[in-house]
Amino acid sequence: MAQAADSARTVILTVDDDPGVSRAVARDLRRRYGEQYRVVRAESGDSALEALRELKLRGEFVAVILADYRMPQMNGIEFLERAMDIHPGARRVLLTAYADTGAAIDAINVVDLDHYLLKPWDPPEEKLYPVLDDLLEAWRCSDHRPVPATKVVGHRWSARSSDVREFLARNQVPYRWYSSDEPEGQRLLAAAGADGRRLPLVVTPEGTALVEPDVPELAAHVGLATTPAADFYDLVVIGGGPAGLGAAVYGASEGLRTVLVERSATGGQAGQSSRIENYLGFPDGVSGAQLTDRARRQAAKFGAEVLTAREVTALEVSGAARIVRFSDGSAIAAHSVILATGVSYRRLQAPGCAELTSCGVFYGSALTEAPSCQGQDVYIVGGANSAGQAAMYLSKGAKSVTLLVRGADLSASMSHYLIQQINEAPNISVRPRTVVDSAHGEGHLQQLTLRDVDTGESELVDAQWLFVFIGAAPLTDWLDGTVLRDPNGFILAGPDLTPDGRPPADWELDRPPYHLETNVPGVFVAGDARAESAKRVASAVGEGAMAVMLVHRYLEQS
């Protein structure tokens, strides 16, 4: 079955400028191999090269190429030499007349020719099929077949290339990365007709080439839902972290028509964690990606819609409806809304960091960038669980990992189990009372200036990798003027809306706001975006479930 599945997308290509000969070759090939392989024929070298490029973009396999030697404009040897750049693993056969056997022998060295056949090849059972059988068997055993997956071609230190890889990884879209200066990357650029100046190039499994795609375009082409199925819902959940996923699961499972809207990738900060070991029910730990994938599938099972790459820019009240507006000007409405927008890592304000973001300075991203850190020295800024989990994960391949902590030690904000693991890791060191003063590099990070907070002394160290896990910046600016927030931007709800715990002055209902309800009736908050929240995965999931319970109460009384 596996071989049949592989063969279904495998091509035997033949090219001959004589239409009669071309049809005869294709006829004989289809008669013997048509059930297992797709036979493609062309009548010129240029058209055959174009076909090979299209096959490359679609991720289809080319097992054997048969080319006639005597073709105008481009002879068979010249064609095979160019075809090698597109499908280097394909077996190569030259069709020749007796007078051209010398050229065929020379081609063995020029294009690494696998075989040459004299025309005519009748009977094919004796002169054609045995040769092709051997070449196909050799191709199957050579493992030259590419994996059908999204392909990304870019520059190693390109911020946009890094962003695309991060988006695909966090949305669990399988992809293969190719540097623009390596042979396979150059083949893909040539096949797509791209000049390499505009990167990244993304090639979907279907063969669609996207040059410098923005997030919505990329999401739409890799199978992520971006368009809502309806205009009105019972519940809109904004944010796809643990709180939002929890709310989507409980909302949909309890019969509410639910849509979850996520601007980047489900999972939030937790989704980027390499291992969560203190979450209830997972004694051996679980990665953030695994937990996110299970929650997303669970929400979909109960009927929740999940929209990705949709940025919410406004929340409006229109009678009983709550209107959610998107950055493209479109909108959806609902009876109720749960704000689960989560937080993002605060940016380092040190000189040089902004210019080198995604070019050696990363916020999160440890899972995506870890393979590139093999055998190198890595620096991490932060002293909470996310920094500790990243340090443990990166230490498996990095030469050394240095945690830079502003405080005296890790005990103030990191779980005890993680501190123990870090202390036992031979290649992890902790530098307390140390901050990044500046970052340096041409095109990518090359050095860091570290400063001792107590003494003021500075030290310049070589560094290509800096991962930042500091603080929490709520993603709530778009709520200004609608939903009350504290001075740091975190959303106020329930008794926290006013200092004395009473309803706000403009509260119109007879009842006080529910525990997770904002100053806008029917709009609730859950997870890290809520003021005074616990900033833990378990509490976020619990608040998502609790918010749905309160949504039911609100709907029953509306």
pLDDT over 80 (residue 197): yes
Residue range 2-142 forms a domain whose CATH class is: alpha beta
The torsion angle over the Cα atoms of residues 240, 244, 246 and 250, rounded to 10 degrees, is: -120
pLDDT over 90 (residue 342): yes
Report the pLDDT value the prediction gives residue 403, as an integer from 0 to 100: 98
Report the pLDDT value the prediction gives residue 3, as an integer from 0 to 100: 42
CA distances for 111 relative to 90, 140, 295, angstroms: 12, 20, 52
Nearest residue to 241 (alpha-carbon basis) of 538, 5, 554, 8:
538
Region 146-150: mean pLDDT is 64
* pLDDT greater at residue 229 or residue 105: 229
Residue-wise pLDDT for 406-455, tens only, equals 999 999 999 999 999 999 999 999 999 999 999 999 999 999 999 999 99
Residue-wise pLDDT for 303-317, tens only, equals 999 999 999 999 999
Region 163-169: mean pLDDT is 92
Report the pLDDT value the prediction gives residue 144, as an integer from 0 to 100: 59
Of 123-127, 144-148, 213-217, the least confident: 144-148
Report residue 264's pLDDT band, with 50, 70 and 90 as the boundaries.
very high
Report the pLDDT value the prediction gives residue 365, as an integer from 0 to 100: 78
How many degrees, rounded to 5, is the angle at CA 368 between CA 305 and CA 386? 85
pLDDT over 50 (residue 206): yes
CATH code 3.50.50.60 region(s) in the chain: 232-344+473-557, 361-468
Report the pLDDT value the prediction gives residue 442, as an integer from 0 to 100: 94
Residue-wise pLDDT for 456-482, tens only, equals 999 999 999 999 999 788 999 999 999
- 529, 476 in Cβ contact below 8 A? yes
Report the CATH number of the 361-468 domain: 3.50.50.60
pLDDT over 50 (residue 282): yes
* pLDDT greater at residue 110 or residue 264: 264
Report residue 2's pLDDT band, with 50, 70 and 90 as the boundaries.
very low
Q: Under 8 Å CB-to-CB from 455, ≥6 apart: which residues?
A: none
pLDDT over 60 (residue 5): no
Residue given tokens 């603080």 in the structure block: 471
**Residue 374, exposed/middle/buried by CB under 10 A (0-12, 13-18, 19+)?**
exposed
Rounded CA separation 490/476 (Å)? 7
Buried b or exposed e, range 54-93, using 16+ CB within 10 angstroms: ebbbebbbbbbbbbbbbbeebbbbbbbbbbbebbeebbbb
Residue-wise pLDDT for 82-97, tens only, equals 898 888 889 999 888 7
Do strands 321-326 and 331-339 pair parallel, antiparallel, or not at all (unpaired)? antiparallel
CATH code 3.40.50.2300 region(s) in the chain: 2-142
Topology (CATH level 3) of domain 232-344+473-557: FAD/NAD(P)-binding domain (3.50.50)
Topology (CATH level 3) of domain 150-221: Glutaredoxin (3.40.30)
% of the chain with per-residue pLDDT over 90:
67
pLDDT over 90 (residue 64): yes
pLDDT over 80 (residue 24): yes
pLDDT over 60 (residue 318): yes
Most confident of 125-134, 245-254, 273-282, 463-472: 245-254
Region 216-222: mean pLDDT is 93
Residue given tokens 């294709």 in the structure block: 26
Mean pLDDT of the chain: 91
Report the pLDDT value the prediction gives residue 11, as an integer from 0 to 100: 95
Report the pLDDT value the prediction gives residue 134, as an integer from 0 to 100: 86
Report the pLDDT value the prediction gives residue 109, as an integer from 0 to 100: 57
For the entire predicted model, the pTM comes to 0.74
Region 148-155: mean pLDDT is 87
Rounded CA separation 312/327 (Å)? 6
Report the pLDDT value the prediction gives residue 107, as an integer from 0 to 100: 64
* pLDDT greater at residue 236 or residue 156: 236
Residue given tokens 């001959």 in the structure block: 16
Report residue 240's pLDDT band, with 50, 70 and 90 as the boundaries.
very high
The strand pairing partners of 202, in sequence order, are 152, 210
Report the pLDDT value the prediction gives residue 292, as an integer from 0 to 100: 92
Instruction: State the amino acid at position 259 in one-letter form.
Output: V
Residue-wise pLDDT for 495-534, tens only, equals 999 988 888 988 989 999 999 999 999 999 999 999 999 9
Report the pLDDT value the prediction gives residue 106, as an integer from 0 to 100: 65
pLDDT over 70 (residue 1): no
